[in-house]
Amino acid sequence: MKNFVQPGNTITLTAPYAVASGDGLLVGSIFGVAAGTAALGESVETALTGIFDITKIGSQSWTAGAKIYWDDTNKRTTNVATSNTLIGVAIEAVAGGAGDTIGRVRLNGSF
């Protein structure tokens, strides 16, 4: 197909804030995980699909299949929809203890 550009699993975005490899970032309606480190305004390769371990709110428990959102104010995932952006689903249950701050998320890659 002559108009095909790329699969789109990873794209280059302009970092809306400083990010390190593995950090989530939201650019408009596009959510992804940074593949490297970038300062505010620098280009960063960003994964849009796949399964990632991402920082979450420690006090929340998740069930497998729960919708997961990005809290751009606090730069972490949450299961609370209000004022947040849907990014995917939890692929396993996670406890809600203070130390349970990582959740495994399958990014939906859609906007």
Chain segment 61-83, per-residue pLDDT in tens: 999 999 999 999 999 999 999 99
Residue 109 has a pLDDT of 81
87 pLDDT higher than 80: yes
- pLDDT value, residue 111: 66
**Rounded Cα gap, residues 40 and 16, in angstroms:** 6
Residue 20 · residue 54 · CB < 8 Å: no
Residue 38 bridge partners (DSSP) = 19
Pairing of strands 50-55, 67-71: unpaired
Nearest to 90 by CA among 102, 72, 73, 75: 102
The phi and psi torsions of 63 (rounded to 5 degrees) equal -110, 155
Which DSSP letter does residue 38 get? B
CA distance 18 to 15: 7
Q: What is the predicted pLDDT for the residue at 48?
A: 96
